[in-house]
């Protein structure tokens, strides 16, 4: 009797263990990977067009990418605790000074999370930032960080709102490429 019970339990476990594996389920905005190797050419889901994506300022006013048409735009995703973000800010200030607010709009999109919000006033007292600090909507954040959650991430858009180039990190090589992308965006019609 006991051996029949053990045999039944073993058979039940064997049958349930041999079922085919379930398909992977995404638990983040990162593309699905198999054995820690990212799948290539996986389409990113976009909830709405880039020009309709938005952010809010400290006064809770909402602005969309499309509101900035006619100007070249830099969307810089940063946090106060990010070293490369801090390194990039003086260069972004210099780009704004060089091209002027009539030609170039820079938006500093803070993605440091709720714990970073109280740090922003202190940070801006210590660090000169010549452009607005705003907070991106979920759709924009999800789209930007779909492939990598590293910061800073800097997007350069031309005057029509088309993405020219995207940069992750900041170093002298990225600075040169960023300058070239901004020149291209500013000179676009």
CB 146 within 8 A of CB 44: yes
Q: What is the pLDDT of residues 130-164, one digit of tens each?
A: 999 999 999 999 999 988 889 999 999 999 999 99
* Strand stretches in 48-173, DSSP E: 54-56, 62-64, 72-78, 104-110, 133-136, 153-157, 163-168
Distance CA 65, CA 50 (A): 7
pLDDT of residue 5: 55
- For 18-136, where are the alpha helices, taking DSSP H only? 83-99, 120-126
pTM of this structure: 0.75
Instruction: Tell me the CATH number of domain 69-187, given options 3.40.50.300, 3.40.50.2300, 3.40.30.10, 3.30.465.10.
Output: 3.40.30.10
Q: What is the pLDDT of residues 51-92, one digit of tens each?
A: 999 999 989 999 999 999 999 999 999 999 999 999 999 999
pLDDT of residue 4: 62
Mean pLDDT of 88-98: 97
Q: What is the pLDDT of residues 9-56, one digit of tens each?
A: 555 544 444 433 333 333 344 444 445 555 444 444 557 888 999 999
pLDDT exceeds 60 at position 179: yes
Q: How many CB atoms neighbour CB 139 within 10 A?
A: 15
Ranges of each domain in the chain: 69-187
Percent of the chain with pLDDT over 70: 76
């Amino acid at each position: 009797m006991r051996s029949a019970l053990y045999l039944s339990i073993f058979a039940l476990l064997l049958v349930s263990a041999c079922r085919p594996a379930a398909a992977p389920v995404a638990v983040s905005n990162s593309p699905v990977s198999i054995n820690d190797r990212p799948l290539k050419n996986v389409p990113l889901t976009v909830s709405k067009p880039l020009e309709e994506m938005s952010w809010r300022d400290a006064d809770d006013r909402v602005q969309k990418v499309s509101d900035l048409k006619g100007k070249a735009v830099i969307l810089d995703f940063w946090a106060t605790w990010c070293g490369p973000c801090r390194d990039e800010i003086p260069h972004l200030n210099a780009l704004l000074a060089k091209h002027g607010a009539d030609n170039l709009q820079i938006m500093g999109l803070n993605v440091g999370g709720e714990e970073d919000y109280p740090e922003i006033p202190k940070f801006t007292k210590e660090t000169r930032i010549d452009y607005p600090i705003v907070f991106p909507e979920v759709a924009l954040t999800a789209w930007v960080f779909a492939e990598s959650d590293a910061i800073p991430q800097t997007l350069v858009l031309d005057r029509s709102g088309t993405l020219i180039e995207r940069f992750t990190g900041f170093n002298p090589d990225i600075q040169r490429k960023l300058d070239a992308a901004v020149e291209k965006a500013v000179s676009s019609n």
